[in-house]
Structure 1
Amino acid sequence: MGVGSNDISGISTVGVFLAGRACSDTLFHMVAGAYGHPAITEERAAMPFAGGILQHGYQCGMIWGSALAAGAQAHRRFGPGPRAQAAAVTAAAKAVECFRYLNDGRRDCFDITELDETSSKMRMVTYFLLKGGTIGCFRRAARYAPAAFRAIESALSADPAAPPPPVASCAAVLAHRMGASDLHQTMVSGLAGGIGLSGGGCGALGAAIWLAGMDILKQHGGKLAFKDPKTTDVLERYLKAADYRFECSEIVGRTFQDVVDHAAWVRSGGCAGILEALASG
């Protein structure tokens, strides 16, 4: 079966959104589906990225969902290991770039909605219902889904500029330590460096939340609670280890130039305390 962005329509994207999904798992579903490989549990576990990591206002959930789908396709195309991980990082970077292009340079949920976990219920109701914020998110998803697919496919189809380093992603390292499968290690790879090395909310934190979400769904089925105690515990452990900093660029003091730069940071013990805290749950 042929796949492509033509398989993603605005109507079908909004339809998935309306079926009770969050922005994050909607985009995951649309991109993965365009490749012919939907993954229900993995998609559902992406729900906590809505609102920018448990509603903290960082990268839009659509970016997280797209990056996870890109990682899944990288694994199918290249198998386990550094090449697939590096390809997932590159594809995630293109997904971030695409989102910014479509949203006037904005990447973070707060910059779009002016909402985060501190916002009152009344403020949220005002934005989503009275100011048309819900419709805005639907339109954003309808535009972004086919564009994200094209950006991801272009990145995965390109020849690598150089051989990948042995360790390509902090998120993949964490997933390995948490006992995740080769597939899931590759899927989270693109979250590295604040998703595709863009310096935003920590990718290792995102990987830990996603893996915790899958454990919850496998044990209990149904639908994730937005602030399940298990994912909340992950966040609390992370914040203590990261000195209450969310963004990769703030923690590291810069953004990474490329996969090789990021790999060198991880190999030298960068963020070791954060990875240890996240893996200890």
Structure 2
Amino acid sequence: MSVVDCSYHNPMVLEESAVAPLAGGLLQNGYQCGILWGAALAAGARAYQLLGPGAYAETQAILVTQKLVEAFRLRNKEINCSDIIGMRWKVSSPRSLAAQVLKFFLRGGPLLCFNMSANFAEAAFREIDRSSTASSAIAPSTPVSCASLLASRMGASDMHAVLAAGFAGGIGLSGGACGALGAAIWIISMDHAKVSGSNPGFADPLALAAVERYLAASDNEFECARVISRQFESAADHAAYIQGGGCAKIIQALSAPA
């Protein structure tokens, strides 16, 4: 996110640092690569920069994020962290984790992730630039994005609601780990950084509590496509679902005071 935003002369230090807990596939749960969460936020930042707040910008962020997911999958074959690096951070025992971490380092995992991030940053910038200027999205009425709605319910600004919009439907409507959950963790991380001046990391009690509330509301399913038993076909399809009360239980659980 940092590389892309700086390319548009729009650095967002707080927002960028708060992406860190999404690394490892959402608090190291192995779902969508942290690079994609950051890229989606960069798409939202560009949409807000060009269009300001509202449904049109949120729709634009979703459409551009769809392109980013496609580009990432084309480059890396997979979008989930655990599939890309061949390991799971959340395992049953410390010994198992140690063995997997050793395997990760022996296979050059850190270098793989660094190179993947550096290479995709340039591709993401090109895709965001091309899609943001070429798209002719027709915005439905609000709310458009589950993640934007959740952000607003948590007291986030209009800008942050647009930034999070691309998380919708499991990032770019891909059906992956819930975008509203990702938005909640990101906002919690930003709030923590505002107070403490530091990033809370992967063990922030408030973020972990949000995950527990989410799982209780989603029947222990992380992935959007499993929660709703299908994948969204378009931004309009997603908007209609949210406007019809879809995922209301999840949004209520995530926006509840800790």
Q: TM-score, normalised by structure 1?
A: 0.87
**Structure 2 match to 1:205:** 181
Alignment of 1:93-104 (within 5 A): 93-104=66-77
Cα distance in 2 for partners of 1:186, 1:43 equals 15
Q: CA deviation at 1:225?
A: 2.5
**Structure 2 match to 1:8:** none
User: Cα distance 1:164–1:268, how it changes in 2: closer, same or farther (>3 A)?
Assistant: closer
Cα distance in 2 for partners of 1:43, 1:167 equals 25
- Within the alignment, does 1:271 sit opposite 2:247 as a pair? yes
| Identity across the alignment (%) | 47
**Structure 2 match to 1:191:** 167
Partner amino acid, structure 2, of 1:176: S
Deviations 1:120-177 (A, max 9, x none): 3323432332111111111211221101111112221123243433321011111111
Partner amino acid, structure 2, of 1:113: I
Partner amino acid, structure 1, of 2:209: D
User: Cα distance 1:69–1:159, how it changes in 2: closer, same or farther (>3 A)?
Assistant: closer
- What secondary structure, in the 3-state scheme, does the structure 2 residue paired with 1:167 have? coil
**Structure 2 match to 1:24:** none
**Structure 2 match to 1:70:** 43
Cα distance in 2 for partners of 1:223, 1:85 equals 27
Partner amino acid, structure 1, of 2:83: D
Q: Which runs of 4+ in 1 moved over 6 A?
A: none
**Structure 1 match to 2:85:** 113
- Which of residues 16, 24, 29 in structure 1 aligns to 2:2? 29
Deviations 1:52-109 (A, max 9, x none): 00111100000000101110110110010000000000111111111101112x1100
Contact 1:99 1:144 in 2 (8 A): yes
User: Cα distance 1:235–1:148, how it changes in 2: closer, same or farther (>3 A)?
Assistant: same
Q: CA deviation at 1:113?
A: 1.4
Query: Please, which runs of 5 or more residues in structure 2 have no aligned partner?
Result: none
Partner amino acid, structure 1, of 2:237: D
**Structure 1 match to 2:220:** 244
User: Cα distance 1:68–1:163, how it changes in 2: closer, same or farther (>3 A)?
Assistant: closer
Query: Please, which runs of 5 or more residues in structure 1 have no aligned partner?
Result: 1-27
- What secondary structure, in the 3-state scheme, does the structure 2 residue paired with 1:58 have? coil
Contact 1:171 1:192 in 2 (8 A): yes
**Structure 2 match to 1:6:** none
Partner amino acid, structure 1, of 2:256: S
Contact 2:47 2:132 in 1 (8 A): yes
**Structure 2 match to 1:126:** 102
